């Protein structure tokens, strides 16, 4: 934390804007950042409480998310297996409230230790105050204030498989099921849906599933009866952006130059062999959003942070 304080002081003295970087897996740089980028490298996986039913771990914000998942699954703990193979760091995962296959990281987070730039010191934020929502948290609205230092996880020892998500349902027939088996299968599913990161640039799902008024969802469902629609609040519903791009706008696999909506999952914007430049990607994104708006009246929002 001393290094972090020193870096922040340096930025203040030199009136530099600060950007906090985790693993960079959910970012798109369109230009150089005119300020100081601080990459969080805080390490450490520490067990701080161990009972018959659960273990509590404190994990440094710079630790790799999936190496942590692998280690916890290896120790027979559960609650993270559906979130296997997501790229990024612990800090980024906590900010973003990463989610996949019916699980969100917020369900296993107990609290988060942050550096509070307003108070000038370390503060613990309890789960109830983290205001977690779909890909949302207090951190997304206070980027100038909080820097995640470490995350406290409460991981159950009893394995209760979460196989309700459509892609995972086939595992309900397995005679033996463990968190390690779920992790392995999630890896196989993801390999089919995501491109090879060694040859293709991607930040995962580029667009969020839109949250709309229930009346808008009803209208969409009357036109497209099989559009996936999830409850968010009594008057709000979440619609599937992948369905809209694929089935309504026919944009799955659509590409321009080296930029494409991936043929196996249209939310994934790909930069083929890393050949496209930032401006090509951003005009492609704008065009996709415009097509969706013209066709449905829905404004897609980006999950990826663009700089
Ligand atoms: N669909 C299509 N065509 C497709 C793919 C999907 O019509 O080509 C429809 C299907 O009806 C399908 C539905 O869209 O049932 C949902 O698709 P999927 O299960 O692939 O999930 P998603 O909502 O598109 C979200 C997350 C992913 C996460 C998956 C799996 C967001 C923005 N994306 O995608 O997260 O891996 O669920 O749980 O919430 C990420 O955030 O980077 C990310 C990859």
Atom of ligand 1 nearest to the CA of 96: 41
- CB distance 300 to ligand 1 below 6 Å: no
The pLDDT of residue 1 is above 80: no
Query: From CA 180, how far away is CA 197, in angstroms rounded?
Result: 23
C-beta of 247 in contact with ligand 1 (< 6 A): yes
| Predicted pLDDT at 197 | 86
Q: Tell whether the model's pLDDT for residue 117 goes beyond 80.
A: yes
| Closest CA to ligand 1's atom 15 | 228
- Render pLDDT for 14-63 as a digit per residue (tens, 0 to 9): 999 999 999 999 999 998 999 999 999 999 999 999 999 999 999 999 99
Rounded Cα gap, residues 180 and 182, in angstroms: 5
Residue 38: its pLDDT value, please?
96
In this prediction, residue 98 carries a pLDDT of 97
Whether 303 is a known active-site residue: answer yes
Atom of ligand 1 nearest to the CA of 226: 11
Q: What is the mean pLDDT of residues 279-284?
A: 95
Closest ligand 1 atom, residue 98 Cα: 41
What's the token pair of residue 67? 């190496």
Longest dimension (CA), the chain: 62
Output the pLDDT for position 79: 95
pLDDT attached to residue 198: 87
Atom 17 of ligand 1, nearest CA residue: 242
DSSP per residue, 113-153: EEEETTTTEEEEEEGGGS--BTTB-GGGG-TTTEEEEEEEE
Gap between the Cα atoms of 182 and 70, Å rounded: 12
Report whether residue 266 contacts ligand 1, using a CB cutoff of 6 Å: yes
Give the residue-averaged pLDDT of 83-111. Answer: 97
For 237-242, the CB contacts below 8 A with 24+ separation are 237/211, 237/212, 237/213, 238/134, 238/209, 238/210, 238/211, 238/212, 239/209, 239/210, 239/212, 239/298, 240/209, 241/205, 241/207, 241/208, 241/209, 241/210, 241/267, 241/300, 242/209, 242/266, 242/267
Query: 205 catalytic, yes or no?
Result: yes
Determine the average pLDDT of the residues in 137-151.
96
Q: How many Cβ atoms sit within 10 Å of the Cβ of residue 194? A: 19
| Tokens read off for 214 | 């229930």
Q: Is 190 a catalytic residue?
A: no
Please tell me if the CB atom of residue 243 comes closer than 6 angstroms to any atom of ligand 1.
yes
Q: Given CA atoms 162, 213, 304, 139 in this order, what sign does their dihedral have?
A: negative
* Nearest-atom index, ligand 1, CA of 303: 32
| Of the candidates 79, 81, 83, the residue with the CA atom closest to the CA atom of residue 54 | 79
HSE-CB of 15 using CA atoms within 13 angstroms: 0
pLDDT tens by residue, 168-217 = 999 999 999 999 999 999 999 999 999 998 899 999 999 999 999 999 99
**Ligand 1 mean position to 267 CA, how many Å?**
7
Q: Which two tokens stand for residue 170?
A: 């086939």
**Cα of 93 from ligand 1 centre, angstroms:** 18
Question: Using one digit for the tens of pLDDT, what is the confidence trace for 227-272?
Answer: 999 999 899 999 999 999 999 999 999 999 999 999 999 999 999 9
Percent of the chain beyond pLDDT 90? Answer: 96
Please choose from 190, 240, 292 the residue to mutate so as to test ligand 1's pocket, defined by most ligand atoms within 8 A of CB: 240
**Which candidate in 25, 84, 135, 183 is catalytic?**
135
Q: How many residues does the chain have?
A: 307
Percent of the chain with pLDDT over 70: 99
């Amino acid at each position: 934390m001393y290094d972090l304080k020193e870096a922040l002081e340096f930025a203040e003295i030199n009136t530099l804007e600060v950007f906090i970087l985790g693993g960079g897996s959910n970012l798109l740089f369109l230009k150089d950042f005119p300020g100081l980028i601080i990459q969080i490298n805080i390490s450490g996986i520490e067990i701080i409480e161990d009972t018959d039913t659960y273990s509590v771990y404190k994990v440094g914000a710079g630790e790799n998310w999936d190496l942590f998942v692998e280690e916890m699954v290896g120790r027979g703990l559960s609650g993270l297996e559906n979130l296997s193979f997501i790229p990024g760091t612990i800090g980024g995962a906590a900010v973003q409230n990463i989610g996949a296959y019916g699980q969100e990281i917020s369900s296993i987070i107990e609290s988060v230790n942050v550096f509070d730039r307003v108070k000038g010191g370390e503060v613990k934020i309890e789960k109830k105050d983290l205001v977690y929502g779909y890909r949302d948290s207090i951190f997304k609205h206070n980027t100038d204030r909080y820097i995640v230092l470490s995350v406290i996880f409460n991981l159950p020892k009893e394995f209760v498989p979460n196989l309700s998500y459509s892609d995972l349902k086939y595992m309900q027939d397995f005679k033996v099921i463990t968190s390690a088996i779920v992790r392995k299968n999630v890896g196989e599913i993801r390999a089919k849906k995501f491109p090879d990161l060694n040859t293709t640039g991607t930040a995962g799902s580029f667009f969020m599933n839109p949250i709309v008024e229930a009346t808008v969802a009803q209208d969409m469902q009357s036109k497209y009866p099989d559009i996936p629609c999830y409850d968010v609040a009594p008057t709000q519903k979440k619609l599937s952006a992948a369905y809209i791009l694929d089935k309504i706008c026919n944009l799955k696999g659509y590409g321009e130059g080296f930029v494409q909506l991936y043929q196996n999952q249209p939310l994934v914007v790909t930069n083929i062999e890393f050949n496209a430049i930032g401006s090509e990607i951003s005009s492609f994104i704008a065009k996709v959003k415009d097509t969706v708006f013209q066709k449905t009246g829905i404004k897609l929002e980006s999950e990826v942070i663009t700089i």
